[in-house]
Copies of this chain bind each other. A is one copy, B any other.
């Protein structure tokens, strides 16, 4: 079928390619003319036959909001917009309402797979009305991995459910990554296991912890056996934060996901104000040495 695709970055560009390989007609638009098929959103809309379907794959927040608003003005009754970006699920209701006012349908779709999706396919979680999701099934089937449809695609619920599912997916992802990270660090610190890379690789089959993330960690250690070239500095995108916020809103204890999020915050701090305060307190009550500058020892008497 015919699809408009807005945003041709790392994700959008690969998705255009995967869809074309599957025989679909994709007209892509990006602000970068070097990758764009058309010169403007307006031109994109004109190039598609009604009823149109346009997939938005731009950064969450203002860029997605602006694109949806612009499309609302350009599209007609019966057209369909899909937000495949990492929008917060609370944005979806607003986007749907803006478009509905013009008779345009809306589907939100969580997309997982990263740079591997072009070859392996993308895990998809869609939210929206049944008729809208059904219309897009040829696209979903082309993007998702081969094999049974329900192992790579779900119609998770109404508008917002797709992004909600993706948000939770990413929250879980934070926890999984941190669990492997902690285990790796302990293996490295203890000095008891000589072959750390080999140990992780031996977990690839048969063990309880086998997973795609484990395979990727083995791969990373093949390339850099002690991760010497990588700093332990980890960004977070929105989904981890939103997952914890949602956990709180729903009174759901989420200690693992939250610990993984906080570990990322810590990884980006040069010095911790909280630990300055703790060091100051120890100095106040126990006369314990505090460190003024470089990493000298400063152990001191620890009796309190």
Contact = CB atoms under 8 A, between A and B. Distances in A.
A50 interface: no
Interface in A1-46: 9-11
Contacts of A171: 179, 182-183, 186
Interface in A90-124: 111-117, 120-124
Nearest to A159: B192
Interface centre among A86, A144, A192, by most B CB within 10 Å? A192
A156 B198 contact: yes
Question: How big is chain A's contact interface, by range?
Answer: 35 or more
A199 B127 CA distance: 11
Given A10-B287, A144-B205, A251-B265, 20 more contacts: A112-B304, A114-B285, A124-B202, A155-B198, A156-B198, A156-B199, A157-B195, A165-B199, A168-B186, A172-B182, A172-B183, A176-B179, A178-B278, A182-B274, A185-B272, A212-B285, A217-B281, A230-B283, A233-B279, A244-B248
Contacts of A271: 231-232
Interface in A179-227: 179-190, 192-195, 198-199, 201-214, 216-217, 219-221, 224, 227
A55 interface: no
A31 to B, nearest CB: 15
Residue of A123, A208, A244, A299 contacting most chain B CB atoms (<10 Å): A208
Closest 5 CB pairs of A and B: A175-B179, A211-B211, A237-B302, A232-B275, A123-B207
A285 B216 contact: yes
A293 B272 CA distance: 20
Nearest to A151: B204
A150 B112 contact: no
30 contacts: A11-B303, A111-B303, A112-B206, A113-B206, A114-B208, A123-B206, A144-B206, A150-B198, A157-B194, A164-B192, A165-B187, A169-B203, A171-B183, A172-B183, A176-B211, A179-B256, A181-B273, A182-B253, A186-B252, A189-B273, A208-B304, A209-B213, A219-B284, A220-B280, A220-B284, A234-B275, A245-B245, A258-B258, A259-B259, A266-B275
